[in-house]
Amino acid sequence: MAKLILKFRDATLQEIPITKPTVTIGRVDKNDIKIENLAVSRQHAKIMQDGDRYIMEDLNSLNGTFVNEKRVMKCILRNGDEIFVGKHTLVFIDEEEKPIEMRKDIDISLAEKTVILDTKKQRELTSQTEEEKPTIKEKPFELKGGIRIISGGVSQEDIELTKRLTIGGKGDGADITLRGFFVGKISFIISKRPNGFFITHSGGRSKTKVNDVEVERQRELKNGDIIDIGSTRMQFYSYKQSDGES
């Protein structure tokens, strides 16, 4: 049988076995568990039995109910959970607790309206078993890319493409500064995606060319591609870097 241990700071005040389908917690007499403290609302929270698990629900208390230091409105209790009500703690003990299996069908009698879920319940709904072992993933690679200025650039330094969007042009906001009569303020934009780098011609009379072909709308960049704009010639390079390296 599940039980609650009522504590104040480190002192155990009372052990309360859960014998009813619903146990109420509050400051006034009619509650099953009465906690006399002004931080506790008259009707503060309740614990309901649902099959072989227990659900804690806050009853719109003024100061809130916290489970393991997280404020919750409603959650499934797990063995060892600490429920904070006002200045008191209720430790939930359920030694017969079954290991959690498929978590996609927990019944938490949801309201029809949109509700926010606390992290703990989220974990329960989205993990298959409690003892789920972290799957061994292939070592993830991050695609890195950069631009090398070959000729005609304002700066001769390589530019690492670390931003989501890297802007080339004559304007102040450009990451790659270009020069030239017909070059636009924003001349081209390189966009970094998980699956690669893509270039878009943005504006200005000077067209952005990749390997001597004008860029129409958007095109993917390949390692070694030559980008020409106005009098500036650049080369795109990319490589894979595994996580953890720097």
Partner 1 sequence: MGFHFKIGAMTDVGKVRAINEDNFTVEENLGLFVVADGLGGQNAGEVASKMAIETIKSYLNDEKNPLVGEYKEEFSQNGNRMLSGIRLINSAIYEAGQRNSEQRGMGTTISSVLINDNVMSLAHVGDSRIYRIRGERLERLTTDHSVVEEQLKRGLITEAEAAESKYRNVITRALGAEQTIEIDVDEEVLLDRDKILLCTDGLTDMVGDEEILRMILRNGDNPRKACEGLVDVANGKGGMDNITVILLYCEKDEQKTGLLERIFLSVSSGLRKTSDAIGGLCKWKGGEASSNFWGKKGKGACKGGNGNG
Least distance from C-beta 115 to partner 1, angstroms? 6
> Rule CB under 8 A: is residue 217 a binding residue for partner 1?
yes
3-state secondary structure of 226: strand
Residues 48-77 that bind partner 1 (CB under 8 A): 60, 62, 64, 71, 73
Which residues in the 161-200 window bind partner 1 by CB under 8 A?
A: 162-165, 167, 170, 173, 179-184, 186, 189, 191, 198, 200
Check residue 133 for interaction with partner 1 (CB under 8 A). Answer: no
- The binder of partner 1 chosen from 159, 230, 234, 236 (CB under 8 A): 230
Q: Which is nearer to partner 1, 13 or 62 (CB)?
A: 62
Burial of 56 (0-12, 13-18, 19+ CB in 10 A): buried
Beta carbons within 10 angstroms of residue 184's beta carbon: 23
Which of 43, 68, 231, 238 contacts partner 1 by CB under 8 A?
A: 231
Compute the C-alpha angle 49/52/55, nearest 5°.
40
Distance CA 71, CA 16 (A): 23
* Size of residue set near partner 1 by CB under 8 A: 48
> 215: which DSSP letter?
P
Which span sits near partner 1 by CB under 8 A: 21-29, 87-95, 121-129, 136-144? 121-129
Identify the residue among 29, 112, 212, 243 touching partner 1 (CB under 8 A).
112
User: Which CB sits closer to partner 1, 94 or 124?
Assistant: 124
Distance CA 29, CA 214 (A): 81
How far does Cα 101 stand from its chain's mean position? 24
Closest CA to 190 of 245, 237, 153: 237
Please identify, using beta-carbon distances, which residue of 54 and 197 lies nearer to partner 1: 197
**Cβ–Cβ < 8 Å for 44, 59:** yes
* 161, burial (CB in 10 Å: exposed 0-12, middle 13-18, buried 19+): buried
The full length of the chain comes to 246
> 20 vs 71, which CB is nearer to partner 1?
71
Interaction between residue 42 and partner 1 (CB under 8 A) = no
What's the rounded Cα separation, in Å, for the pair 185 and 165?
A: 15
Tokens representing 224 are: 């070694």
Sequence-distant (≥ 6) Cβ neighbours of residue 115 within 8 angstroms: none
- Minimum Å distance from CB 210 to partner 1? 15
Give the binding site for partner 1 (CB under 8 A): 60, 62, 64, 71, 73, 102-104, 110, 112-117, 122, 125-128, 152, 154, 162-165, 167, 170, 173, 179-184, 186, 189, 191, 198, 200, 202-205, 217-218, 230-231
